[in-house]
Amino acid sequence: MDKNKKNKLIKVYILAVIILLVFFYYLGVLVKGENYFLSSFSLLQNKGYEFFTKFRYSFISYQEAQDLKKKNADLKHELGQLYYENAQLLAYKVENENFRSMLNFFEEKDFDYIVAKVIGRDLNRNNTLIINKGLKDGIKNGYAAVVGEGMIVGKVVECKENLSTVLLLTDQASQLAVSVVFSNKTTGLARGEFGLSIKVDFIPQDIKIALEDIFITSGLEKNIPRGLVLGKVNRIISHESDLFKTITINPFINYEEITNLSVILPQDYSDD
């Protein structure tokens, strides 16, 4: 059988199949199969549509989630920057207020003074501040260190050419002659207590002291003027059988937050 005859035979077969299918269709034999096929195809089409719809929205949701995550990170960064800038502004504000208070105090008292910046602490000695002024600026041991409007925080205990060390009043090694604000006499000797508060010993029993009374420097010590404020009384220890009583003073400021201070230069200093 040659090639042409083979092709004609195939065409005849195909034509016969088509005629049979048309015949069976009109007889209704293929209706059930057609319905089944269309139903299956429709179900498959619906499932495919649902799948691709969910996939598309899942992809969109993922993209949106990524965008929101990035926006959230950006907002957190901006918020952190704003917090930092606000903290800096607040620090500058507090520092300016402290400077203004010190200037007002010294203008009223007519004291000579040196403004210094706290640059650190002595690691070998607790309750100290290291400042950036020293011998070349006229500072000497025993001079008073104050903040704000005349609040004494300690005394200079060590001087170098460009640096000085201030021992805070809360240190147990610190000693300072003090008096209650309404008395012209020395009331007692103030010493540090555990680095937290100030204790005043040797107060005669006949001196009346109440809670919240303010204590100041008595002026008895050389280079320490009278009237510098220590703080207020928060505890009184007194027994009738004792000759003296003891009180504790709570400073008006937190020594841990001191960033700047002034050292009072005695007006008659030349040689100590």
Tens-digit pLDDT profile for residues 78-116: 766 665 566 555 555 555 555 555 556 555 666 788 999
Nearest C-alpha neighbor of 258 from the set 95, 62, 149, 57: 95
pLDDT at 270: 39
Nearest C-alpha neighbor of 245 from the set 254, 233, 253: 233
Q: Which range (50-54, 93-97, 228-232, 254-258) has the least confidence?
A: 93-97
pLDDT at 153: 95
Q: Percent helix, strand, coil in the chain (nearest 5)? A: 40, 30, 30
What lies within 8 Å, CB to CB, of 163 at 6+ separation is 119, 130, 131, 132, 133, 134
Q: What is the mean pLDDT of residues 60-75?
A: 71
Are the C-beta atoms of residues 188 and 203 closer than 8 Å to each other? yes
What lies within 8 Å, CB to CB, of 186 at 6+ separation is 177, 178, 179, 218, 220
What lies within 8 Å, CB to CB, of 269 at 6+ separation is 138, 140, 223
pLDDT at 37: 55
Q: Which residue has the higher pLDDT, 5 or 226?
A: 226
Residue 258: both structure tokens together:
């001191």
Q: Tell me, what DSSP letter sits at residue 122?
A: -
What residue ranges do the domains of the chain occupy?
1-110, 113-265
Q: What is the mean pLDDT of residues 131-143?
A: 95
Q: Is the pLDDT of residue 218 over 70?
A: yes
Q: Which residue has the higher pLDDT, 84 or 266?
A: 266
Task: Give the separation between CA 247 and CA 55, rounded to whole angstroms.
Answer: 78
Q: Is the pLDDT of residue 204 over 70?
A: yes
- Residue 114's beta-bridge partner residues? 263
| Beta-carbon count within 10 A of 239 CB | 10
pLDDT at 252: 87
pLDDT at 269: 38
Task: Give the separation between CA 187 and CA 246, rounded to whole angstroms.
Answer: 11
Q: What is the CATH number of domain 113-265?
A: 2.40.10.340
Q: Is the pLDDT of residue 50 over 80?
A: no
Exposure class string for 148-165: b at 16+ Cβ within 10 A, else e: bbbbbbbbbbebeeebbb
Task: Give the separation between CA 16 and CA 260, rounded to whole angstroms.
Answer: 109
pLDDT at 32: 57
Q: Which range (37-41, 161-165, 229-233) has the least confidence?
A: 37-41
pLDDT at 184: 76
